[in-house]
Structure 1
Amino acid sequence: MSAGNESFVTEFFIIGFPGLQPDFYNLVSAVLFIVYCCTVVGNSIVLILFAIHNILHKPMYFIYLNLVVSDLILSTTTLPKIIVRYWFQAGLTYFFSCFLQMYLVHYCATVTSFILLIMALDRYVAICYPLRYPMIIKNSTVHIFNCTAWVLAHPPCISIVIKAYPLPYCASNIVLHLYCDHIAVTTLACIEWIQYSLPFFVFAMVIFLVPLAFIVFSYCSIIVAVLKIATTQGRFKTLSTCSGQLIIIALYYIPRCVIYLLINIGITFNTDVHISITMLYSLVPPMINPLIYCLRTKEIKQILIKQFKRKQVHV
């Protein structure tokens, strides 16, 4: 599983949870398989509903549609490989495949960060400038924002992969992660990793903290605007329009911020705990997001209720 200092790694072995005993491999693979199935089914239902119901062809849903696509790509890029690793003990992945997975993981994470920013912008304009919302947030405007998110996410992600690919991987090829994460892979290179990691750290801070800063600003402005509403019922109704998005944003950012903060103040984690937290903010939200949106969005909820009633009538 490892090579000497004079030979170079041609394959990586994704270990997953280092402390997991073989007796639990089938259980973990079954849980991950359920997570993947729920993710695919839930997000596919949203895609189908969007395709067949014109009532959902609104800016807010176009934004969410891009989040659905990003979630599907991320889950399909990561979960099948780790499921196979535990189900069939097949954790080997080719050198190029590992870096392709690395690119897709960071690309989807970056796109998601930008999409959440667009979500916050949508709610900011809708609540703080309701009369101007139809003029500012149009379908065409949202399409431009969404396309810009997908395009802007590409250069920084491809650059970190291009920089990581030619490094001399001449020691261990065991990746202590659920997938080919940038840090988990590049720490295997025979280099002074701390110096190499600085540009990536700056990239991560810009990609996540800049959108997060605007998101925090937008929701602070939303809270101020809501407090100016005279009636309690009006406040509740206004806040309910962004509650689903707020939950999705919290699921994505809070675990990331907590783990980055604890690491930077010197608190170290057990590898299994670290991987579990990573899974919490990268692989679980794509499964939960469709459920949140279906339960918290009026139009989708009404469509699902109508579909359910029709099936009962036919039965």
Structure 2
Amino acid sequence: MSDSNTTDFTNPSTFILVGIPGLEAAHIWISIPFCTMYIIAILGNFTILFIVKREPSLHEPMYYFLCMLAITDLVLSTSIMPKTLNIFWFNSREINFSACLTQLYFIHCFSVMESGIFVAMALDRYVAICDPLRHSTILTNAVVAKIGLAVVLRGGMLVMPHPFLARQWPYCRNNIILHSYCEHMAVVKLACADIRMSSYYSLFVIFSVIGLDVFFITFSYINILWAIFRIPTKDARLKTFATCGSHLCIILAFYIPGLFSFLMYRFGHNVPLHFHILMANVYLLLPPMLNPIIYGVRTKQIRDRLIWLFAHKGM
């Protein structure tokens, strides 16, 4: 490593991303599942958007929220994977300072948006199952648009201080980021200043977003499960329960690794760094890959439309 990496500076022109510390020799092998997951996420989410756009019968709140989730997943996974794969395949580890802060913003902004969309989808399922006769009058197109706007504004505004605070710190230790992408705390920990403001604000965002969103999701699904158990027909009860169960699994796949990744930078000093970085990548890749499968392929209307498209194209 050159001496420039440890020279005093306040505004670094570039940062150096090391990939997964301790597993550099295995980067090529690690890139295979990562690239596979990314390709599935891209194809799956574009397929969801294409089918919903082409099929007028799917122009309903549930599918609008599903499209919002697909767009969020596309941006979230694309924010990290091209650069990560460049590190793994070509050892292209440099990233411009401004590009790093932009990546930081997009990652955290769209993570907050994804959490908000899960809340919106839980609300949609709650109304559809617990008050089906009023579903179309409660969740009108105007209401769905307002919910979508609120989700976007919340994510954009809550995360906006992150890059501004990160830009103001002096970086005079080194410019080597022990990560495969510009994670917020991985960046600001390089500053030779009191970064408690960044750290405390980050914790505020994490616990306010996750705390509120998990509360509303839990409240919705408790009421949904209560309504399911009151369904007289066993087959209908099992079908609805299976659908909600799969939705809960994908929600847990998003929140558990995400919370683990955020907290390890502050409290997980005994956790091996390579394991932490792997989990941080899985957290941003697994939900975008699983969402179109769970919410798309397992949804009858989308599955039927997809089969029809393939059959029609085959003819």
Contact 1:9 1:171 in 2 (8 A): no
TM-score (norm 2): 0.92
Contact 1:113 1:208 in 2 (8 A): yes
What residue is the counterpart of 1:72 in the other structure? 74
- Between the aligned partners of 1:265 and 1:92, the Cα distance in structure 2 is 28
Per-residue deviation, residues 93-141 of structure 1 (Å, max 9, x unmatched) = 0110000000000111010011011011111111111222121112221
Post-superposition shift, 1:254?
A: 2.5
Per-residue deviation, residues 61-118 of structure 1 (Å, max 9, x unmatched) = 0001001101111111110001011111111001100000000001110100110110
- Between the aligned partners of 2:92 and 2:165, the Cα distance in structure 1 is 28
Contact 1:3 1:9 in 2 (8 A): no
Post-superposition shift, 1:280?
A: 2.1
Contact 1:256 1:281 in 2 (8 A): yes
1:1-315 equivalences under 5 Å are: 2-5=5-8, 8-22=11-25, 24-194=26-196, 196-257=198-259, 268-312=270-314, 314=315
Using the TM superposition, name which of 35-44 and 87-96 deviates more. Answer: 35-44
Post-superposition shift, 1:251?
A: 1.4
Q: 1:82 to 1:109 in 2, by over 3 A?
A: same
- Between the aligned partners of 1:140 and 1:251, the Cα distance in structure 2 is 30
- Between the aligned partners of 2:8 and 2:79, the Cα distance in structure 1 is 31
Using the TM superposition, name which of 276-285 and 92-101 deviates more. Answer: 276-285
Q: 1:260 to 1:268 in 2, by over 3 A?
A: farther
- Between the aligned partners of 2:259 and 2:50, the Cα distance in structure 1 is 34
Q: 1:38 to 1:241 in 2, by over 3 A?
A: closer
Contact 1:243 1:296 in 2 (8 A): no
TM-score (norm 1): 0.92
Per-residue deviation, residues 193-251 of structure 1 (Å, max 9, x unmatched) = 44641121111111222111110111111111212222322312332443443232121
- Between the aligned partners of 1:162 and 1:253, the Cα distance in structure 2 is 26
Q: 1:196 to 1:266 in 2, by over 3 A?
A: same
Contact 1:17 1:178 in 2 (8 A): yes
Kindly provide the amino acid, as one letter, of the partner of residue 158 in structure 2.
P
Post-superposition shift, 1:257?
A: 4.0
Unaligned runs of 5+ in 1: none
Contact 2:9 2:170 in 1 (8 A): no
Q: Could you tell me the percent identity over the aligned residues?
A: 34
Kindly provide the amino acid, as one letter, of the partner of residue 16 in structure 1.
G
Q: 1:56 to 1:6 in 2, by over 3 A?
A: closer
- Between the aligned partners of 1:241 and 1:60, the Cα distance in structure 2 is 13
Kindly provide the amino acid, as one letter, of the partner of residue 284 in structure 2.
S
Kindly provide the amino acid, as one letter, of the partner of residue 270 in structure 1.
P
Give the alignment's Cα RMSD to 1 decimal: 2.1
Secondary structure in 2 matching 1:9: coil
- Between the aligned partners of 1:19 and 1:147, the Cα distance in structure 2 is 42
Per-residue deviation, residues 138-197 of structure 1 (Å, max 9, x unmatched) = 222112101211112111111121111110111111111221010110011002344641
